[in-house]
Structures are given as C-alpha cells and as structure tokens.
Amino acid sequence: MAEAVEMDDARKRYEFKKKLESLESMQGSGTELISLYIPPNKQIHDVTAQLRDEFGQCANIKSKQTRTNVQSAISSILSRLKYYKTPPPNGMAVFCGSHQLGGDRTDFSCTVVDPPEPLNISMYRCSSNFELEPLKQMLEEKSVYGLLVLDRREAYWGFLRGNRIDPVGGITSTVPGKQRKGGQSSVRFQRLREIAINDFYTKIGERASAIFMAEKDFFNRFKGVLIGGPSPTKEEFEAGNYLHHELQKRIIGLFDVAYTNESGLPELVDAAKDALKGMEVVKEKAFMDKFLKELVKDGGLAAYGEESIRKNLEIGAVDTLLLSGSLRKSRLKIKCQSCDYSEERTVSVEPGKDTRDIPLGSCPKCTAPLVLEEENDIIDELTKLADASSAKIEIISDDFEEGSILFSAFGGIAAILRYRTGF
Ligand code: ZN
C-alpha cells in the first residue's frame, strides 16, 4: 500500500514537471502572456474585479495586436473563473495567452494548474513568457533533516527543509573547564566533570529528540540527523546513544564545524553537502545499482530498450520497471483512413511542439493517409502494461550519475527481470 502511494507521488511529480516544461516553452510575440496566481484564501470576486480593472487598462497598450491578445486572454480567464465559487484547497494558477508556434502561426491556450502545495502568493503578470518560479519551487525536494551542533559548552539545533535552514534553539552547559580550582582533588574533579558532561549530553539528547520527532509526518519526511562539532565531542555524543533510538539510527554523519551556536548550522549543512546529495536519491540509486550489477552478470536479470521491455512486460517477466523521469515520448495509435490497417508508434515529444504536426505517412496496405487515433504519454502507457503483471515501477531522476546513465545509455527504459528471457 505504502508503495502504491509513493508511486502516485512520483507520477504526480512527473506530470507536474512536464506541464511546467510545456508552459515554459511558450513564448508570446509581445507582452501578452498572462500568469495569474490565486492563493487558497483569496476571494474569487476580488480576482475578477482586478481582472476587469486590468482589462480597462489595456486601452493604454500601444500595439493593437498585443492589446487584442491581452484582452482576449483576460476574457478567457474571466469565463473560466465563473466555475469557481472559491479557489481549490491549494489555490490555483492560470496561464493564458497566444503563443508562437513557429512560422507565423500562433496558438491560444489557457491552462489552469492545481498546485501540489498551497500557493502563498497572489500575482497578476503580463509578460512575453509565463511566470513559473513559484510552481517550480514546489518541485524541489521537500525532505527534512535535523541539524545539531555541539561541544561540551553549548549546543544548537534546527532543521534543514529543502534548501532552507530553520534554526530552533540551543542550550549552554555549566560543565566546568579543564582547570580545577585549588583544593579539589584531581580524581574527584575529573569525576565531577564527567558527570556534568554526561548530564549535558543527556539534556541535549532529550531536547533535540523532542524537537526533531515533533516534526509533522516524521516517519515519511524526516530523512536523518546531521551532527557537527569539534572532535572528539561529536563522536562521544554519538557513541553515547544520547538521541532517541529512532534518531540514533538516522544519523547520517558527523562533520567538523567551528561554531556550535546558531552560526554552526549553515556551516554544518555546507560540510554535509555531499552526504545530503546522496541521501535524496538513495532509493533510486539502489535500483540502478541492482540493474547495473545484473547487466554485467552472465545470465543476469537486466533488460533495456523499449522493444525488449515491451516484450518482457507482455509475458509478465518484469520485476521492476525503471523509467527515466526525463523521458518525453508519446505512444501513438495510428490507423488508416480507408482500410482496417492500424499500428502503434513511439515518437519524441518536444515541449511546445504539437504531436499532431508529426507526419504519419501513408498506409502500407492501400496507400491512403494514416491518421492519429490516440496519443498516450509513454510513461502512462508502460505503467499500465506493468500494472497488468503487477510489476513494480520506479521513476528515476537524472539528479545522480547512474540516473542520468539510464536516460543517456539505455534510452530511459530498463527493467530488472523476474527470470531470464530471450528478449
Ligand atoms: Zn489502408
């Protein structure tokens, strides 16, 4: 079940990314593309009032063509907003206008995007391209890490959310310095000092654990703890199991940092950069490692290439289907205009280019023109095939070396098989 949910997220992410790419490729000939962001708490009638106002101000636009285009875009948005009493739960973004198709042709499109996370801005912008930055930010990984810097005198903790550091708080200790005062016995002083250090570590462990584990959706989103400080303090702290056992097993690494107050947190994130990069793709990397291992084995269980994977899917031989998130292809169902001939074909899709412009050729049976009957995104189509034999599906990003190899060397389509086949 958990796997199905996760799959859904990867798919939604892929769909969303593809939609943004397509919008990004659109260019207006003038400043005539409208981007409108409506946060969930905004009143629709306030938005429509603003749009009517903008419509009126179009009179100031000098170019007649631009003026007409902006006005028809605004009208189109207004007519769409009629269907909404309130914005959807995450708000909405609308992109509308005439964009160039190449040659002298233009196409008018109006796209409503339902964002995967709540929008927190309200925006109306008219430009020669669409403003997509607020939505692109939602594509960034939303993992959360606990940050902890410490030495024997102070400690500070916080979170790393995506690329943002959230400092939370810290404590200082009353651990006595190394120099004992006159009159104390050395052994007794050392003993007291150790007790004080242990007490301080215990306090750090309890406080930091409480903060980290209170994080919303901890078991799904909290990816690990980074600990920074001088040696041997941080090593001592880790070895002493002072954090909650759920956090203790999520410690990603220990890193040298000079500061153990709030300034230590960015220093820690910087020192842990490589370790973090690896974490984001750790699950995808495990699948790619397995695939590459099977590939070099004699009689290994690896297959790749669209044709081979289709055959393996058909006979139910695929254990895990590996699809590159960079795949931009469509599967076309094509039929003859006059006889019963039909075929399927895979074509590359470039953002902003219309698949309907691809020449289909003529029927090999009767030479009548071939026509497009159905177009499906190749990831959708292969996913359905995989579902039919309960194969697992992994969408692999190209944010890491093995991931980009899947796309560049294996055409973005590969599989780990259940058993060896001839394909
Ligand atoms: Zn025909």
Q: What is the 3-state secondary structure (H, E, C) of 207-247?
A: HHHHHHHCCCCHHHHEEEEEEEECCCHHHHHHHCCCCCHHH
Q: What distance in angstroms lies between residue 336's CA and the mean position of ligand 1's atoms?
A: 5
Classified as helix, coil or strand, 91 is coil
- Measured in angstroms, how far is the CA atom of residue 372 from the centroid of ligand 1? 13
Instruction: Give the residue range(s) of CATH 3.30.420.60 domains in the chain.
Output: 144-277
**Span from the CA of 339 to the centroid of ligand 1 (angstroms):** 4
Model confidence at 249, in pLDDT bands (50, 70, 90)?
very high
Residue range(s) occupied by CATH 3.30.1330.30 in the chain: 279-423
Distance CA 230, CA 152 (A): 10
**DSSP 3-state of 383:** helix
- Is 3.40.50.720 the CATH classification of the domain at 279-423? no
| pLDDT per position as a tens digit, 394-419 | 889 887 788 899 999 999 999 999 99
Structure confidence at residue 180 (pLDDT)? 63
DSSP 1: -
Of 109, 107, 86, nearest to 38 by C-alpha is 86
Distance between CA atoms of residues 36 and 124, nearest Å: 5
Neighbouring CB atoms inside 10 A of 260's CB total 26
Phi-psi sector, 170: left (phi>0), alpha (psi -120 to 50), beta? beta
Backbone torsions φ then ψ of 249, nearest 5 degrees: -80, -5
Between the CA of 358 and the centroid of ligand 1 the distance, in Å, is 19
Distances (CA, A) of 371 to 113, 317, 328, 353: 30, 33, 21, 18
| CATH number of the domain located at residue range(s) 24-139 in this protein | 3.30.960.10
Mean pLDDT of 183-212: 90
CATH 3.30.960.10 residue ranges in the chain? 24-139
Q: Is the pLDDT of residue 219 over 60?
A: yes
Q: Compute the average pLDDT of residues 328-336.
A: 94
CA of 384 to the centre of ligand 1 (A): 29
Phi then psi for residue 125, to 5 deg, are -140, 140
Q: Name which of 137, 189, 196 is nearest 163 in CA terms.
A: 137
What is the Cα gyration radius of the chain? 29
Q: Residue 361 Cα, ligand 1 centroid: separation in angstroms?
A: 11
CA angle 231, 235, 187 (to 5 degrees): 80
Assess whether the previous peptide bond of 230 is cis (omega < 30° from 0): no
- With bands split at pLDDT 50, 70 and 90, how would you rate the model's confidence at 375? very high
Q: Return the pLDDT at 3.
A: 44
Tens digits of residue pLDDT in 283-327: 788 899 999 999 999 889 999 999 999 999 999 999 999 999 899
* pLDDT: which is higher, 220 or 193: 193
Distance 370 CA to ligand 1 centre (A): 7
382 phi, psi to nearest 5 deg: -70, -35
What percent of the chain stands above pLDDT 90? 64
Question: Do 292 and 407 form a contact (C-beta atoms < 8 A)?
Answer: no
Ligand 1 mean position to 396 CA, how many Å?
A: 40
DSSP 356: G
- The maximal CA–CA distance of the chain, rounded, in angstroms, is 109
For ligand 1, the distance from its centroid to the CA atom of residue 345, given in whole angstroms, is 16
Per DSSP, the three-state class of 202 is: helix
User: What is the whole-number distance in angstroms between the Cα of residue 342 and the centre of ligand 1?
Assistant: 8
Cα of 43 from ligand 1 centre, angstroms? 55
pLDDT of residue 398: 80
For ligand 1, the distance from its centroid to the CA atom of residue 374, given in whole angstroms, is 17
Residue tagged 């058993």 (tokens)? 419
AA identity, residue 336: C
CA of 333 to the centre of ligand 1 (A): 14
In words, the CATH class of domain 144-277 is alpha beta
Residues surrounding ion ligand 1 at CB below 5 Å:
336, 339, 341, 363, 365-366, 368
Measured in residues, the chain has a length of 423
pLDDT higher than threshold 80 for residue 59:
yes
What are the φ/ψ torsions at residue 312 (nearest 5 degrees)?
A: -65, -35
Predicted confidence at residue 271, as pLDDT, reads 92
Separation of 47 CA from ligand 1 center, angstroms? 53
Model pLDDT, residue 147: 97
